[in-house]
Amino acid sequence: MSKGSYVLAIDQGTTSTRAILFDEGGKATATAQVPLTQIYPAPGQVEHDADEIWRAVLQVCREVLAEAGAGNIAAVGITNQRETTVVWERATGKPLANAIVWQDRRTAPLCAALEREGWGAHVAETTGLVIDPYFSATKLAWLLANVPSLAERAASGEVCFGTIDSFLLFKLTAGRLHATDATNAARTKLFDIRSGTWDARLMDRLGVPLVMLPEVRDSQGDFGLVAEEHFGAALPIRGVAGDQQAAAYGQACFAPGMLKATYGTGCFVVANTGAEKVASATRMLSTILHQREGRRTYALEGAIFMAGATIQWLRDSLGVIATAAESEALAERADPKSGVYLVPAFQGLGAPFWDAGAKAAIVGLSRAASKADIVAAGLEAVAFQTRDLLTAMRQDMAVSGIAAAHALRVDGGMTANAWAMQRLADILGETVEVAATPETTALGAAYHAGQAVGFYGHDAALARAWAPSRVYAPKMTEAEREARYDGWLEAVSRVRSEAAP
């Protein structure tokens, strides 16, 4: 059994870094958060300073540990923005370039070349993914080709590659561990999710030497000890999972067919598909939900690149709202018959379209259109995109004989917006259940770490403890729902690129 009163969860996200202490009931008892600087070197490019991330992790952890004491920590769990790509010096832990963020689209030309060369089938069969700049592999290839001497140093074993979890594990353990977990490895587009090994063919094509890749471990297990110098105690790291898989775990989506959506910077819908990898015919991603004792549980996933980020754009770039919270009241004043649609393809379209060349647009404007109509269209776009994903996922699951749940569990910042959640239920025509714990992603990391040391019980106990804080049932008529969705599909067709698959 565990010793200690809390699990420390480190949640390193796209826009902030947080540390949260969870007690035995899964309740957050202390939280610290630091915003993360977004770096935009050129249109379509997004970077983070990995050193800034590391300093933030130290700061937020020290803040919450000052309240509880490091001696009261049973285990540490880590969850992270996935696909974001870091390279660092093995000897010192020093980053050798800015991290390239998952949103970055600079590798679209390389992805187009891979498509022309016919790599699509191998990528889908092996990694469960599609060829898109979203994933780590082409980001790493870009760094190897563009950072002076990096390729040579990587081949000689001087350089480590990792996603953010791997970088943090290396730093927390003072360079003793270069590892990742199966959920993060599955997002690199270099990992065979069937065999659980790195794929030599893809590594060879992209010029990635095996020596720079991390060891892949279970999502629950031994990830070493936090060096005592950081927090005054050698804390056991026992859980790691990518943010969306962690959120599904925190939402207790333990049974095949269960669905969750997290609404943060982007939106990510995940469906548990059980012990077998489902081959998607609708361009959904097949991925690893978690790996325990060497056994993999799989999932289907769809990504919306712009969810909360659309509201940020309305606030920061257009200035039509002063705070994100204002969007709810403004949307309530919108004309439901305005015919305005906002397609937020600011960084292309994600699943099921996977169109890196698509451009954002507001369509259906008339002289009568107001800022309320535009804000409502931005919120409604999230609901439409969620329906795009769920429709595709259900088709794939039906072929595999998996019965999809008729309720969507949701978490993330946008779930505080009652108008957006009601509109989501209306557009889906299904029940939407809002998680009682807002910090579901961090809770999932805490569950992984806590179960590994006996701090939390088995899955069934966690499932029984799950309960929604709010439930939204659809109120819109089917005729209106379908008419609005048809208008969305028409709007999307207008922004697609000619080169789109």
CA torsion angle 272 79 174 208 (round to 10): 60
201: helix, strand or coil: helix
Query: What residues have CB less than 8 Å from 331, skipping those under 6 apart?
Result: 372, 375, 376, 379, 419, 420, 423
pLDDT band at 501 (very low <50, low <70, confident <90, very high): low
Whether the predicted pLDDT of 410 surpasses 70: yes
Averaged over 116-145, what is the pLDDT?
A: 95
Q: Please give the pLDDT value at position 350.
A: 77
The beta strands (E) that lie in 317-435 are given as 341-343, 361-363, 407-411, 431-435
Averaged over 379-403, what is the pLDDT?
A: 91
Of residues 463, 60, 88, 421, the one with CA closest to residue 254: 463
Q: Please give the pLDDT value at position 498.
A: 66
Q: Please give the pLDDT value at position 499.
A: 55
Whether the predicted pLDDT of 494 surpasses 80: yes
Sheet holding 267-274, edge to edge: 285-292, 295-304, 267-274, 259-263, 407-411, 431-435, 468-472
Whether the predicted pLDDT of 416 surpasses 60: yes
Domains defined for the chain, CATH in brackets:
6-243 (3.30.420.40), 252-435+467-501 (3.30.420.40)
C-beta of residue 26 within 8 angstroms of C-beta of residue 34: no
Percent of the chain with pLDDT over 90: 77
C-beta of residue 302 within 8 angstroms of C-beta of residue 392: yes
Averaged over 205-232, what is the pLDDT?
A: 96
Whether the predicted pLDDT of 367 surpasses 80: yes
- Retrieve residue 25's tokens: 């009931």
C-beta of residue 480 within 8 angstroms of C-beta of residue 380: no
Distances in Å between the alpha carbon of 448 and those of 101, 302, 333? 25, 23, 43
Which pLDDT tens digit goes with each residue over 302-354? 888 888 889 989 999 989 888 888 899 999 998 888 999 999 998 788 778 87
pTM of the model: 0.88
- Retrieve residue 74's tokens: 């049973």
Which pLDDT tens digit goes with each residue over 383-394? 999 999 999 999
Q: Please give the pLDDT value at position 2.
A: 57
Which pLDDT tens digit goes with each residue over 417-462? 999 999 999 999 999 999 988 889 999 999 999 999 999 999 999 9
Q: Please give the pLDDT value at position 4.
A: 81
Residue where the block lists tokens 């049932």: 473
302: helix, strand or coil: strand
Q: Could you tell me the end-to-end alpha-carbon distance of the chain, in angstroms, rounded to an integer? A: 52
C-beta of residue 81 within 8 angstroms of C-beta of residue 102: yes
Lowest mean pLDDT, pick from 58-62, 195-199, 200-204, 460-464: 460-464
pLDDT band at 500 (very low <50, low <70, confident <90, very high): low
Averaged over 400-408, what is the pLDDT?
A: 87
Percent of the chain with pLDDT over 70: 99
Q: Please give the pLDDT value at position 281.
A: 86
* Mean pLDDT over the full length of the chain: 93
- Retrieve residue 56's tokens: 């933030």
Whether the predicted pLDDT of 208 surpasses 70: yes
Q: Please give the pLDDT value at position 28.
A: 92
Q: Please give the pLDDT value at position 378.
A: 94
Which pLDDT tens digit goes with each residue over 40-89? 999 889 999 999 999 999 999 999 999 888 889 999 999 999 999 999 99
pLDDT band at 1 (very low <50, low <70, confident <90, very high): very low
Q: Please give the pLDDT value at position 160.
A: 98
Whether the predicted pLDDT of 161 surpasses 70: yes
**Rg of the Cα atoms in the chain:** 22
Whether the predicted pLDDT of 360 surpasses 80: yes
CA atoms of 198 and 161, how far apart (whole Å): 13
